[in-house]
Structure 1
Amino acid sequence: MTSLKTLFFIVVTTLVFGSGALAANSEQQEEAKRKGIELYNQFKAISALPYLKIAAEGSDHESQYYLGEALRKNKKYMTPEAQRAYEASASQGDLYAMIRLSQRGGDLCVQMNNCPSEQKSPMDWRKSALEAATKQAEMGDSEAMYLLYRLTGDEKWFERSAEGGYALSQYYLGAEYREGKGFFLTPAKRADVVERWMRASAEGGNPQGMLAYAAIQGRKQDWQTFRYWNEKAALTGYVSAVYGYGSYLAGQSPEYGFKEDLVTAYACISWVLEMDGGGGMKEFAQEELPQIAARMSAQQIEQSEKLLTEWKASRPPLSFFPDKL
């Protein structure tokens, strides 16, 4: 009887404390995923790797996909480790990973003749991606519709994705019409369609769409709407928007009607200084920040530094919002 009680105690203790350890591990991996994707979206793929590896160990398919992306981009070609990460993600149904594996025929590893061994051929992965994307699209998933367009080039899916509310498709579609896609009787008709899609994208939360829609309103000299969407885009953490908003508040282009606010401007430009992984924005910030500081008191600069600390704790992280695919 004593041995049975002891065994029961051991089992219960293991379940209780073991589940606690699993929960802690899960939290650690979730935090690692968040940080890893944040760094990746700031063009800091090398710095993102340790975090994405921790997150991917928890079999999170999105972390595995981003790990594959970071590994592949760092080496400029498909490595065995990147291949394994993509395959682990794709085997869980991740559409992005399936599509990436289907594109290996154009990878640099083919030219180098050192492509890693694969579970399935690119053609087989393409077939799996088409089946999965079609199934999700038929259920109304507008993101899957966009991925079908990327897989097939069928404009029907591009239009349906935008009509279905996928903000990235709406932005891309607006941009294509802006660059000459389609036929319109007059330039005004084209401009109306571009504006409709950019507004939809902006209202759907896409920061690129926000800036594009703001630019349209600027050309109409609707400065109130221009200012609104520039600030809105900056609040998403979109690097270009944060930099632009800070510059406007520092007094650049006064005709746009931004009220000068050097404290907020300095905080914006200071934040952009952290973008040292690529994108070229850090260099712009390094050039502009001393010019703003020269017009500020030590107390104002201290206020800016405090404001930036508050932002980092409460706002989305800075991001270039690169296309996931």
Structure 2
Amino acid sequence: MLLIRHLVLALTIATYAATSLATPQASGRTLGVSLYNQLKISSAISELEKEAQSGNVESQYYLGEALRKHNRYMTSEAQHWYEAAANNGNIYAMIQLGRSSHDLCQQMKNCPSSEKSPAEWVEKAKDLTFPKANEGDPESLYLMYEVTLDREWLEKSARAGYPLAQYWMAVGERQGRGYFFIPGKREASVRNWLKLSSEGGYPKAMNDHLEILYEEGNMESVRHWLEVAAETGDQEAVSNYGAYISHTPDKVGYPLDIVKGYALFSLLKELDGNGGVREYAEQKIEKIAKKMTPDQIEKSKTVAKEWKDSHPPLSFFPDKLGN
């Protein structure tokens, strides 16, 4: 049974690795993008500028995102990089430029001039996306939803297997979208979308799926999916996994592994103060260290390095099309 479980885990992780390049959060990952995903916006801007100037289209888009979020409205510099990415075919940049008509800069009456109006950018995004969507491309179907806000496109994308669309189908149904006349059908549908999205490699869906499994008392599946989620680099999953394997507390029945638990929390400290993660990690490290020998603490440094070298960077997985 143990061998079978590890084979299933390996296959799930391999599936994630194979599909994650097709998801918005994982495409074009660079140091600048990784820093952005860790919410280190100031550090990200510095790296993204170098990458964007070298012609990296994803970095051009994320630099626009980082600058807009840092300033809390669309600045001339942010718009410049969105337009650079859009002119290089980046649909996400076109969508954000199309949404600029609702940006805070409108209220401030200082929106930068643009080579196209927001409506024109939306039309360009639609013109480029629709042909692929019409062929059934899962990501293009999702982008058509983002362009039109027509939920029918979202469902088509989800049914075509796009993990992000499956996650948002679950979120929408949980919030009351859709019609379910038979008691329990809504909950079953939410559970199914989260399961499918998890199998497709989307970490936020895994975390939500885990909550359902935990409430059901299915600890074997909880242990499996928490480990898979931690493998993606999701900071919440890594934190929970580190706590449970170090038995601080023991809530899901993992064998005690204080060396690995200590190692994971030492990595989480690198997220600085984002969301209080560093403070939480330091508290956990102090608690775990009381149960460790000096040799175990030293060994944990090697374990931490091995994890960091063999796994994706830690990430909060912010939405690529951020508000």
Please give the range of the TM-score, normalised by the shorter of the 2 chains: 0.7 to 0.9
Cα offset, 1:111, TM superposition: 2.0
Secondary structure (helix, strand or coil) at the match of 1:292 reads helix
Q: Is 1:291 equivalent to 2:287 in the alignment? A: yes
What are structure 1's unaligned runs of at least 5 residues? 1-31
Q: Which moved more, 1:63-72 or 1:48-57?
A: 48-57
Amino acid corresponding to residue 227 of structure 1 in structure 2: R
Q: Is 1:35 equivalent to 2:31 in the alignment? A: yes
Output aligned runs, 1:262-277, within 5 Å. Answer: 262-276=258-272
Amino acid corresponding to residue 216 of structure 1 in structure 2: I
Cα offset, 1:117, TM superposition: 1.8
Q: Is the Cα–Cα contact under 8 Å of residues 240 and 281 in structure 1 kept in the other structure? A: no
Q: Which moved more, 1:166-175 or 1:138-147?
A: 138-147
Identity of aligned residues (%): 45
Pairing partner for 1:67 from 56, 63, 71: 63
Residue deviations 1:221-240 (CA, integer Å, cap 9, x gap): 11111100001000100000
Amino acid corresponding to residue 229 of structure 1 in structure 2: W
Matched residues in 1 for 2:279 and 2:182: separation? Answer: 41
Q: Is the Cα–Cα contact under 8 Å of residues 35 and 44 in structure 2 kept in the other structure? A: yes
Cα offset, 1:286, TM superposition: 2.3
Cα offset, 1:209, TM superposition: 1.4
Pairing partner for 2:75 from 79, 84, 89: 79
The match for 2:199 is: 203
Cα offset, 1:271, TM superposition: 1.1
What are structure 2's unaligned runs of at least 5 residues? 1-27
Amino acid corresponding to residue 71 of structure 1 in structure 2: L
Amino acid corresponding to residue 239 of structure 1 in structure 2: Q
The match for 1:249 is: 245
What TM-score do the two structures reach when normalised by structure 1?
0.86
Matched residues in 2 for 1:201 and 1:183: separation? Answer: 21
Q: Is 1:311 equivalent to 2:307 in the alignment? A: yes
Matched residues in 1 for 2:119 and 2:127: separation? Answer: 12
Q: Is 1:282 equivalent to 2:278 in the alignment? A: yes
The match for 2:18 is: none
Secondary structure (helix, strand or coil) at the match of 1:103 reads helix
Structure 1 segments of 4 or more deviating over 4 A?
none
Q: Which moved more, 1:49-58 or 1:229-238?
A: 49-58
Larger radius of gyration: 1
Q: Which moved more, 1:234-243 or 1:45-54?
A: 45-54
What TM-score do the two structures reach when normalised by structure 2?
0.87
Q: Is 1:300 equivalent to 2:318 in the alignment? A: no
Secondary structure (helix, strand or coil) at the match of 2:319 reads coil
Q: Is the Cα–Cα contact under 8 Å of residues 272 and 285 in structure 1 kept in the other structure? A: yes
Q: Is 1:213 equivalent to 2:209 in the alignment? A: yes
The match for 2:223 is: 227
Q: Is the Cα–Cα contact under 8 Å of residues 33 and 55 in structure 1 kept in the other structure? A: no
Pairing partner for 2:255 from 259, 284, 292: 259
Cα offset, 1:127, TM superposition: 1.0
Residue deviations 1:94-148 (CA, integer Å, cap 9, x gap): 1100011111112222222222221111111111112112122112221221122
Q: Is the Cα–Cα contact under 8 Å of residues 246 and 266 in structure 1 kept in the other structure? A: yes
Amino acid corresponding to residue 133 of structure 2 in structure 1: A
Cα offset, 1:33, TM superposition: 6.3
Q: Which moved more, 1:224-233 or 1:258-267?
A: 258-267
Q: Is 1:324 equivalent to 2:285 in the alignment? A: no
RMSD of equivalent CA atoms? 1.6
The match for 1:23 is: none
Q: Is the Cα–Cα contact under 8 Å of residues 244 and 251 in structure 2 kept in the other structure? A: no
Amino acid corresponding to residue 302 of structure 1 in structure 2: E
The match for 1:25 is: none
Matched residues in 1 for 2:171 and 2:256: separation? Answer: 32
Amino acid corresponding to residue 254 of structure 1 in structure 2: D
Cα offset, 1:68, TM superposition: 0.7
Q: Is the Cα–Cα contact under 8 Å of residues 49 and 70 in structure 1 kept in the other structure? A: yes
Cα offset, 1:88, TM superposition: 0.8
Matched residues in 1 for 2:282 and 2:107: separation? Answer: 40
Cα offset, 1:277, TM superposition: 5.6
Output aligned runs, 1:112-191, within 5 Å. Answer: 112-191=108-187
Q: Is 1:237 equivalent to 2:220 in the alignment? A: no
The match for 1:16 is: none
The match for 2:23 is: none
Residue deviations 1:260-295 (CA, integer Å, cap 9, x gap): 211111111111111126233223212222111111
Higher RCO by CA contacts (8 Å cutoff, separation 6 or greater): 2
Secondary structure (helix, strand or coil) at the match of 2:271 reads coil
Q: Is the Cα–Cα contact under 8 Å of residues 33 and 51 in structure 1 kept in the other structure? A: no
Amino acid corresponding to residue 48 of structure 1 in structure 2: A
Q: Which moved more, 1:119-128 or 1:130-139?
A: 130-139
Q: Which moved more, 1:267-276 or 1:172-181?
A: 172-181
Amino acid corresponding to residue 315 of structure 1 in structure 2: H
